[in-house]
Structure 1
Amino acid sequence: MTSPTTDPTFYRSPADAAAAPPEQLAYVAAFDRSGDLPDAMAVVDVNASSESYGRVVGWTDLPAGAELHHFGWNACSSALQHEGHDMNGLSRRYLLVPGLRSSDVHVLDTQPDPRAPEITKTIAAAELSAKAGYSRPHTLHCGPDGIFLTCVGGPLDDPDGPGGVALLDHSTFDVVGPWETDRGPQRLAYDAWWHLNQNVLVSSEWGTPSMIEDGLVPEQLLAGNYGHSLHFWDLAKGVHQQSVDLGAEQQMVLEIRPSHDPEATWGFVGVVISTADLSASVWRWHRADPQGPWEVDKVITIPAEPAEESLLPPALKPFGAVPPLVTDIDLSVDDRFLYVSCWGTGELKQYDVSDPAHPREVGSVRLGGIVGRRPHPARPDEPLSGGPQMVEVSRDGRRVYVTNSLYGAWDDQFYPDGVGAWMAKLDVWPDGGFTPDPRFFPHGDDFRGRRVHQVRLQGGDASSDSYCYRS
């Protein structure tokens, strides 16, 4: 049972999350590719009835050169099932913001003024390296035993060593140590999520720091050296249990999205590119027998699109085509719609996944793209660079937010004439389909010369909570 002092944004079930009041603010990670300007946390008004709707209404400078990437809340709905927490004091209050290049993690307090987050602590790269043996922090989720921080790199003196998961204390944010007790064959790291009630953590793979920091390395790609496996772990013990190799041609197995139904044993993961035909794909993990092995199968294939060589960046000219480059996916809280960002072609796809084994495309919007450069309806005469990249879905599933930067060096490689900076909101129709909101388009100077990456929504969102109980 929850008490009167339990944070109201800890939702017992997906239905409770969807029925809660909608978000009023969005927090957006912004960074300066040159490293000259401070990176920043931008606060955007997403209340459609507000006079400042669609505008940046708050700004917090962070150290320059960090390249802020994926960030998240210190606590979330899964706290309702964790042991040992003081539920009278725990709240969704702090944003932990990793710098993918600096390896520092900054803690921002969003209270008392949610529009003016304040830096209250910095977890230094040296502490992360010394206590957990990791660097290049990438993604974090609040979970059992502490805050899970996935890291692409090994220790500072051997950054291409195995990446993995560092555990942070829920209250002090100190680094406790590595989460894994037996990593088995796992070496590459990227994302991690879980099925709480099944005591299972799932992790994915990108590449070592030397394989990503200066852009996509063609030789590494063609050799099949980027990540192409999923790993399944005992969540309580940190012990590796099973790997599933999707095939060496399936390069960069990235974003993990488990079902929000706490009793389910399935989820989706996106694959950036196939070296066989430049297609991208989405795969489903599942198991028929609760005690049996995990199976992974491809359920969505998105082909590359032919293009004139003169319109392509140097990296793609030999191929005469634009790969979709699926760089993010997001699953609505009711587990009905899966959103797939095709950063290369500038398309955001929507699939009905009511039957997870047989997704059905029901919506598509194009903004930007390597070749298309499709404009936003707010600026119909201005071609856009970049494309839908990071995707965030509101708890009620009625709004989707996208930003357009992937990672500085990769932006420059695929959009060499400039990726720009923009954020868009799309309104979702009840039975599928969506459309851009012409009133919502912060871009360019709104972000003070920075590029924008991930979005988190006030009160929680589709990709940052796991729920303990069925609706």
Structure 2
Amino acid sequence: MTLSLLRASIVEPVDLYWKCGLANPHTSHCLGSGQILISCMGDPSGGGKGGFVLLDAETFEVIGNWEHPGEAAPFGYDFWYQPRHNVMISSEWGAPKILAEGFNPAHVAEGHYGTSLHVWDWSTHKRVQTLDLGEEGAIPLEVRFLHDPDATEGFVGCALRGNVFRFYREPTGKWAAEKAIGVPSKKVEGWILPDMPGLITDILISLDDRFLYFSNWLHGDVRQYDISDTRNPRLVGQVFLGGSITSDGPVRVLEDPDNQLQPRPRFIKGKRVSGGPQMLQLSLDGQRLYATTSLYSGWDKQFYPEMVREGSVMMQIHVDSLKGGLTLNENFLVDFGKEPGGPALAHELRYPGGDCTSDIWL
């Protein structure tokens, strides 16, 4: 009998501070060199700083900054690279010390949240272009290139206004961005603001580059779009899984541009879903979509305190990968409220052998 042991490696915050001047690591991608690249959201004082840390993939020791001195972006969050086109594109959330306080609309006006995508030269590690998406693109989060390594386009979900932008390379070699999908805010009463955005918190693209999925954490729905024509995405699937506008809750929708009834609360195996769909992951065959409900503990406490008390869940959605369509699996639920030492707030989802949000082809 052979036993194999998995060695746990921890990257200490002090190593990021002293070696890279960075803090709050977020997204990691493996590189063709065998190294690991991790984006960071801030500096050690909690201010915004979009830099990158290189790790040795064998020892997990911090090698140093990926970007050159003075090249860091004002804010950091997610990134994706396409080596065939010598490009990496990164996004922005906000200053970590501001995020920890929960969401305050005044902080947006004060400039504590990002609105830009940053274009990096993959070979020189220099920031060569910034695409300011403006108010419509406030808080651009998850960046997804098409999986086809020859493609020169992708999408980013912009949380605050409920928009998805398409970014692409122009014939001149410069990069540009345009709004591709918009989820209109709903006029409401009984909430902190008179208008409730969908708050797009995660997006992903199927491995065949045919469908794009995203979650509206506040409205409570997951959407599927056919992106065969990337300039004209077409809604082909939608399912509500909790959220802030359920029909039995304190919020009343006064005006809905989508002309939809307030959804009923969602129960799975007798448990009510607290919170809304947040992080997504798709099976490699494109037929099973998974969603968890926790975004960030400071924001979870503000918008879904009952989820913090009860723990988050993971749900499974059946996908029609031919014509499009989403249906909740009523017999699948992972309840993190029952974890030892719980309740727990589960966030990211990963497939052991690679998945739709981590695989990058060289």
TM over 0.5, shorter chain: yes
- Deviation of 1:410 after TM superposition, in Å, equals 0.3
Q: Report the equivalent of 1:143.
A: 31
Q: Report the equivalent of 1:104.
A: none
Matched, 1:196 2:70: no
- Deviation of 1:367 after TM superposition, in Å, equals 0.6
Q: Report the equivalent of 1:413.
A: 302
- Structure 1 counterpart of 2:239, from 365, 380, 384: 365
- Structure 2 counterpart of 1:427, from 318, 330, 333: 318
Question: Map of 1:171-190 to 2, 5 A cutoff?
Answer: 171-181=58-68, 184=71, 186-190=73-77
Matched, 1:455 2:336: no
Q: Is the 8 A contact 1:225 1:248 kept in 2?
A: no
Read off the aligned partner of 1:163 and give its amino acid letter: G
> Hey, what's the Cα distance between the residues in 2 that align with 1:182 and 1:356?
36
> Hey, what's the Cα distance between the residues in 2 that align with 1:224 and 1:266?
28
> Hey, what's the Cα distance between the residues in 2 that align with 1:237 and 1:194?
13
- Deviation of 1:216 after TM superposition, in Å, equals 1.4
Q: 1:142 to 1:273 in 2, by over 3 A?
A: same
Matched, 1:266 2:157: no
Q: Report the equivalent of 2:360.
A: 466
Q: Report the equivalent of 1:134.
A: 22
Q: Report the equivalent of 2:211.
A: 337
- Deviation of 1:383 after TM superposition, in Å, equals 3.7
Structure 1: any 5+ residue segments left out of the alignment? 1-110, 275-279
Question: Map of 1:85-164 to 2, 5 A cutoff?
Answer: 118-145=6-33, 146-154=35-43, 156=44, 158-160=45-47, 162-164=49-51
Sequence identity percentage:
40
Q: 1:183 to 1:351 in 2, by over 3 A?
A: farther
- Deviation of 1:224 after TM superposition, in Å, equals 4.5
> Hey, what's the Cα distance between the residues in 1 that align with 2:118 and 2:210?
25
> Hey, what's the Cα distance between the residues in 1 that align with 2:113 and 2:346?
25
Higher RCO by CA contacts (8 Å cutoff, separation 6 or greater): 1
Counterpart secondary structure, 2:300:
helix
Q: Report the equivalent of 1:36.
A: none
Matched, 1:284 2:166: yes
> Hey, what's the Cα distance between the residues in 2 that align with 1:331 and 1:258?
8
> Hey, what's the Cα distance between the residues in 2 that align with 1:454 and 1:125?
20
Read off the aligned partner of 2:280 and give its amino acid letter: V
**TM superposition score normalised by structure 2:** 0.88
> Hey, what's the Cα distance between the residues in 1 that align with 2:11 and 2:326?
40
> Hey, what's the Cα distance between the residues in 1 that align with 2:239 and 2:292?
14
**More off after superposition, 338-347 vs 411-420:** 411-420
> Hey, what's the Cα distance between the residues in 2 that align with 1:341 and 1:125?
31
Read off the aligned partner of 1:465 and give its amino acid letter: D
Read off the aligned partner of 2:223 and give its amino acid letter: K
**TM superposition score normalised by structure 1:** 0.68
> Hey, what's the Cα distance between the residues in 1 that align with 2:163 and 2:269?
31
- Deviation of 1:237 after TM superposition, in Å, equals 1.4
> Hey, what's the Cα distance between the residues in 2 that align with 1:336 and 1:300?
15
- Deviation of 1:217 after TM superposition, in Å, equals 2.7
Q: Is the 8 A contact 1:376 1:438 kept in 2?
A: no
- Deviation of 1:249 after TM superposition, in Å, equals 5.2
Q: Is the 8 A contact 2:13 2:23 kept in 1?
A: yes
> Hey, what's the Cα distance between the residues in 1 that align with 2:143 and 2:3?
33
Q: Report the equivalent of 1:299.
A: 180
- Deviation of 1:185 after TM superposition, in Å, equals 7.2
Read off the aligned partner of 1:428 and give its amino acid letter: V
Q: Deviations over 1:71-122 (max 9, x none)?
A: xxxxxxxxxxxxxxxxxxxxxxxxxxxxxxxxxxxxxxxx967xxx855221
- Deviation of 1:415 after TM superposition, in Å, equals 1.7
Counterpart secondary structure, 1:401:
strand
> Hey, what's the Cα distance between the residues in 1 that align with 2:3 and 2:327?
35
Q: Is the 8 A contact 2:292 2:346 kept in 1?
A: yes
Q: Report the equivalent of 1:351.
A: 225
Matched, 1:391 2:273: no
Q: 1:249 to 1:269 in 2, by over 3 A?
A: closer
Q: 1:341 to 1:220 in 2, by over 3 A?
A: same
- Structure 2 counterpart of 1:441, from 333, 336, 342: 333
> Hey, what's the Cα distance between the residues in 2 that align with 1:439 and 1:141?
33
Read off the aligned partner of 2:59 and give its amino acid letter: T
Q: Is the 8 A contact 1:370 1:385 kept in 2?
A: no
Q: 1:141 to 1:112 in 2, by over 3 A?
A: farther
Counterpart secondary structure, 2:138:
strand
Q: Deviations over 1:265-308 (max 9, x none)?
A: 0000010113xxxxx1000000231x521010000000112333
Read off the aligned partner of 2:218 and give its amino acid letter: G
Q: Report the equivalent of 1:214.
A: 101
Matched, 1:168 2:58: no
Q: Is the 8 A contact 1:163 1:208 kept in 2?
A: no
Q: 1:454 to 1:185 in 2, by over 3 A?
A: closer
> What root-mean-square deviation, in Å, do the aligned CA atoms of Structure 1 and Structure 2 show?
2.0
